[in-house]
A and B are shown apart, each in its own frame.
Chain A
């Protein structure tokens, strides 16, 4: 309540009381007889001082009256109004607190009843909307699931390069050391892949579309960081809601990407291998041929000369043999690396085969000596199927009993043994066994044992085991390097990797200030620090941030980084954020973290709670790091003061409670950033109700609040 308004109430009360007194006097004067009237006038003249005192008392009393009126009626009514706005806008579950005199409390009860109905109505509408969108959501989920399971990276972009969708595989392709930029909804694809490449591919698509080609695809190679080479296939997206007037102009494109770095390296290796083989063979054969032709064409040459040419032929033939052996080994290595099946322990392969035999044939297979340390590179399905097939034929045709597997090392191979007690296969068995389909009971397979062996560069044969009354198959599989603790990427719960609303978002060219709050991209951020005095040398120890787009908090697109402050942490602040020196040891320093954070929040509006505090820390580092944060900033503390200046407290927890935002991870940078982001998203419609629609309006309204005057 402003002082001016209080003064107005006071003056009004005084005028009312004074007017009532004067009116009373005039009334008395009017009804008195002339004699009494004179008497009364004399009395008034004599009692002037008393009248003055009476006037002062009246003035003071009117002050009290004004205070009472303001406290009892105006303030509760005003609070009630703000509560009503809140319930009508940001938080339908909010209820006014009944206070003040009975009439105002009754009004509050009526407002609450109305808010209750409003909330119930909203709930019903929400439910109908939810039902109406259920099919769409299911479809989106199926799409997201499909995308996440694709073995290729997928990026869907608008024609101007903004990312509408990406899958987990794409995220992995563009993450890790040396990644060119951040992948994220609404971000530009040009920060990930060179612009000229993308533009060229898109131009090719346009050309081919213009020539009436249906479903054109453009293929190009692009690097993703220093060590990754991607093969990208681009297909156009035609005719969405935002499609331009020309129906042949794509409104966006899909990029399917595969990491082909290894393939390309392996092809290069193969080329080198072949080249070397050709050259060395030509040289050796040239020597042999020349020597042989000399021997043939010049039979009259001396014995010594003959011996010389004969020796040349022998030496070159040996050299040629060596070169061919080397090429054969090199080719086998390459073929294995090119066909990239899964790498697994030979022991696990045998265990899979045993389970399969038990399930399909109902036979128990024992395991003999198993070398657990051997790794093989196999298609485990077809190889286990092959082992199962062998057991079946041994059992069915040879009456094999006590079947057991063993695994041992044999040079560059793992040797899998299959032993049994019973008859041995007849001579010539191998033709039939190797060339008939593997399919076991009720299971068809086009593959034969020979196919599977060839594919694995493996061999199998039967050898008589004099030690037992039975037979033994040997299977030799090339060894693979062991796979050590490769961590699976953490699964993000329901990642929000798509946002097709971006199709209808205006381009980046329009000035941010005049853009509507509801359509901007934001980064909500927070920092934890060694203490509260940036100017006195306190440092940032943690930065957390989350991106927001089209009214959604993108929980999968976060920045969460601890920072080594290179100075002690004050015990008071350590108590708040719980970050101790041991957690910060080995973390990057701020000069490494700030450029990454700057890149993360590029082209977005920063949103912080009491952002002036965090920004002061960042500003103090500008000179040292050369990283400048010059994008627009909005502060939920100031915006809260804009929206609810009479609701008192504007601390993060209080506001969160007011907006019905649940608080988790409070006093971690990322946790606070997320709470701040959620609050901000709920503020946008409330601000709009007050006519604050654009970024400029929000910034100007923030500047006018009392809190904006705080400096750090």
Chain B
């Protein structure tokens, strides 16, 4: 069943792959290249799931996550955080702020798709 996915990522080459993957599994998607865009699109597009990079320009992924989780209207949205740092403390922080899953770059596309599938209850 087609779902809505918001891709918040500023690395164009990763965006290309993520967009391709989402289209392959039949999800509708939008892309934000900074934290503020991500929040704006989250309110407009009302995605079921957000693939959220931690190091976004203007507003970090952690801030975006915190804001989304404080918004009643967006509460049900699933969040998968993507990071290039991958420190244990960072993973703990992301999960504590309300992320549903935390994936460290480089990731296996299969793992990413499985996680998205699991969270969207397909």
Question: Is A293 interfacial (CB 8 A cutoff)?
Answer: yes
Give the distance in Å from the alpha carbon of A279 to the alpha carbon of B84 in the complex: 5
Instruction: Report chain A residues within 8 Å CB of B14.
Output: 283, 286-287, 290
Instruction: Report chain A residues within 8 Å CB of B107.
Output: 286, 289-290
Whether A282 pairs with B13 at a CB distance below 8 angstroms is no
Question: Is A29 interfacial (CB 8 A cutoff)?
Answer: no
Q: CB-defined interface of B75-109 with A at 8 Å, one 1/0 digit per residue?
A: 00000000011100000000000000000111111
Q: CB-defined interface of B41-59 with A at 8 Å, one 1/0 digit per residue?
A: 0000000000000010000
Decide yes or no: A291 and B85 within 8 Å by CB, A282-B104, A282-B105, A297-B109 being known contacts.
Answer: no
Whether A291 pairs with B13 at a CB distance below 8 angstroms is yes
Decide yes or no: A305 and B84 within 8 Å by CB, A286-B107, A293-B108 being known contacts.
Answer: no
Give the distance in Å from the alpha carbon of A291 to the alpha carbon of B14 in the complex: 8
Q: CB-defined interface of A315-340 with B at 8 Å, one 1/0 digit per residue?
A: 11000000000000000000000000
Give which listed residue, B20, B24, B55, B105, contacts A285 with CB less than 8 A: B105
Question: Is B110 interfacial (CB 8 A cutoff)?
Answer: yes
Question: Is A308 interfacial (CB 8 A cutoff)?
Answer: yes
Q: How large is the interface on B (under 10, 10 to 19, 20 to 34, 35 or more residues)?
A: 20 to 34
Give the distance in Å from the alpha carbon of A164 to the alpha carbon of B117 in the complex: 73
CB closest residue in chain A, given B21 = A294
Question: Is B11 interfacial (CB 8 A cutoff)?
Answer: yes
Give the distance in Å from the alpha carbon of A294 to the alpha carbon of B19 in the complex: 11
Instruction: Report chain A residues within 8 Å CB of B106.
Output: 282, 285-290
Shortest CB distance B20–A (Å): 6
Q: How large is the interface on A (under 10, 10 to 19, 20 to 34, 35 or more residues)?
A: 20 to 34
CB closest residue in chain B, given A308 = B16
Question: Is B17 interfacial (CB 8 A cutoff)?
Answer: yes
Decide yes or no: A287 and B85 within 8 Å by CB, A293-B109, A293-B110, A312-B16 being known contacts.
Answer: no
Question: Is B18 interfacial (CB 8 A cutoff)?
Answer: yes
Decide yes or no: A291 and B84 within 8 Å by CB, A282-B105, A282-B106, A286-B105 being known contacts.
Answer: no
Whether A289 pairs with B84 at a CB distance below 8 angstroms is no
Give the distance in Å from the alpha carbon of A293 to the alpha carbon of B110 in the complex: 8
Give which listed residue, B11, B55, B85, B109, contacts A294 with CB less than 8 A: B109
Question: Is A278 interfacial (CB 8 A cutoff)?
Answer: yes
Decide yes or no: A290 and B84 within 8 Å by CB, A283-B11, A312-B16 being known contacts.
Answer: no
CB closest residue in chain B, given A315 = B13
Chain B CB within 10 A, most for which of A279, A283, A305: A283
Whether B110 pairs with A287 at a CB distance below 8 angstroms is no
Instruction: Report chain A residues within 8 Å CB of B105.
Output: 282-283, 285-286
CB closest residue in chain A, given B11 = A283
Whether A309 pairs with B17 at a CB distance below 8 angstroms is yes
Instruction: Report chain B residues within 8 Å CB of A429.
Output: none
Interface set, chain A 273-307, CB cutoff 8 A to B? 275, 278-280, 282-283, 285-291, 293-294, 297-298, 301, 305
Whether B109 pairs with A290 at a CB distance below 8 angstroms is yes
Whether A286 pairs with B84 at a CB distance below 8 angstroms is yes
Whether B11 pairs with A305 at a CB distance below 8 angstroms is no
Instruction: Report chain A residues within 8 Å CB of B55.
Output: 279
Give the distance in Å from the alpha carbon of A298 to the alpha carbon of B16 in the complex: 14
Instruction: Report chain B residues within 8 Å CB of A308.
Output: 16
Shortest CB distance B11–A (Å): 6
Shortest CB distance A11–B (Å): 103
Whether A294 pairs with B20 at a CB distance below 8 angstroms is yes
Give the distance in Å from the alpha carbon of A285 to the alpha carbon of B21 in the complex: 17
Whether B86 pairs with A282 at a CB distance below 8 angstroms is yes
Shortest CB distance B28–A (Å): 19
Shortest CB distance A689–B (Å): 75
CB closest residue in chain B, given A290 = B17
Chain A CB within 10 A, most for which of B11, B17, B84, B108: B17
Whether B104 pairs with A290 at a CB distance below 8 angstroms is no
Decide yes or no: A283 and B16 within 8 Å by CB, A289-B106, A290-B106, A290-B109 being known contacts.
Answer: no
Give the distance in Å from the alpha carbon of A309 to the alpha carbon of B109 in the complex: 14
Instruction: Report chain B residues within 8 Å CB of A315.
Output: 13
Give the distance in Å from the alpha carbon of A618 to the alpha carbon of B104 in the complex: 70
Whether B108 pairs with A316 at a CB distance below 8 angstroms is no
Give the distance in Å from the alpha carbon of A283 to the alpha carbon of B109 in the complex: 14
Whether A283 pairs with B20 at a CB distance below 8 angstroms is no
Give the distance in Å from the alpha carbon of A291 to the alpha carbon of B15 in the complex: 10
CB closest residue in chain A, given B17 = A290
Shortest CB distance B31–A (Å): 15
Instruction: Report chain A residues within 8 Å CB of B104.
Output: 282
Interface set, chain A 247-287, CB cutoff 8 A to B? 275, 278-280, 282-283, 285-287
Instruction: Report chain B residues within 8 Å CB of A290.
Output: 14, 17-18, 21, 106-107, 109
Give the distance in Å from the alpha carbon of A287 to the alpha carbon of B10 in the complex: 12
Instruction: Report chain A residues within 8 Å CB of B18.
Output: 290
CB closest residue in chain A, given B24 = A298
Decide yes or no: A305 and B13 within 8 Å by CB, A283-B105, A285-B106, A289-B106 being known contacts.
Answer: no
Give the distance in Å from the alpha carbon of A278 to the alpha carbon of B55 in the complex: 14
Give the distance in Å from the alpha carbon of A76 to the alpha carbon of B83 in the complex: 101
Give the distance in Å from the alpha carbon of A291 to the alpha carbon of B19 in the complex: 11
Whether B84 pairs with A283 at a CB distance below 8 angstroms is yes
Whether A279 pairs with B17 at a CB distance below 8 angstroms is no
Give the distance in Å from the alpha carbon of A282 to the alpha carbon of B86 in the complex: 9
Give the distance in Å from the alpha carbon of A297 to the alpha carbon of B105 in the complex: 19
Give the distance in Å from the alpha carbon of A297 to the alpha carbon of B24 in the complex: 11
Interface set, chain A 137-195, CB cutoff 8 A to B? none
Instruction: Report chain A residues within 8 Å CB of B84.
Output: 278-280, 282-283, 286
CB closest residue in chain A, given B105 = A286
Whether B108 pairs with A289 at a CB distance below 8 angstroms is yes
Q: CB-defined interface of B1-44 with A at 8 Å, one 1/0 digit per residue?
A: 00000000001011011101100100000000000000000000
Shortest CB distance A273–B (Å): 15
Shortest CB distance B19–A (Å): 11
CB closest residue in chain B, given A311 = B13
Give the distance in Å from the alpha carbon of A294 to the alpha carbon of B11 in the complex: 17
Instruction: Report chain B residues within 8 Å CB of A305.
Output: 20
Instruction: Report chain B residues within 8 Å CB of A298.
Output: 20, 24
CB closest residue in chain A, given B55 = A279
Shortest CB distance A307–B (Å): 12
Shortest CB distance A208–B (Å): 32
Shortest CB distance A498–B (Å): 49
Whether A279 pairs with B85 at a CB distance below 8 angstroms is yes
Q: CB-defined interface of A73-87 with B at 8 Å, one 1/0 digit per residue?
A: 000000000000000
Give which listed residue, B13, B85, B109, contacts A278 with CB less than 8 A: B85
Give the distance in Å from the alpha carbon of A161 to the alpha carbon of B17 in the complex: 66
Give the distance in Å from the alpha carbon of A291 to the alpha carbon of B106 in the complex: 11
Q: Would you mind naming 29 contact pairs between A and B with Cβ atoms under 8 Å apart?
A: A275-B85, A278-B84, A278-B85, A282-B84, A282-B86, A283-B11, A283-B105, A285-B105, A286-B11, A286-B14, A286-B107, A287-B14, A287-B106, A288-B106, A289-B107, A289-B109, A290-B17, A290-B18, A290-B106, A291-B17, A293-B108, A293-B109, A293-B110, A298-B24, A301-B20, A308-B16, A309-B16, A312-B16, A315-B13
4 residue pairs, one from A and one from B, having the closest CB atoms: A290-B17, A286-B105, A286-B106, A287-B13
Residues of B within 8 A of A (CB): 11, 13-14, 16-18, 20-21, 24, 55, 84-86, 104-110
Residues of A within 8 A of B (CB): 275, 278-280, 282-283, 285-291, 293-294, 297-298, 301, 305, 308-309, 312, 315-316
A290-B109, A293-B108, A312-B13 given; name 20 further pairs at CB < 8 Å.
Answer: A278-B85, A279-B84, A283-B11, A286-B105, A286-B107, A287-B11, A287-B13, A289-B107, A289-B108, A291-B13, A291-B17, A293-B109, A293-B110, A294-B20, A297-B109, A297-B110, A298-B20, A309-B20, A312-B16, A312-B17
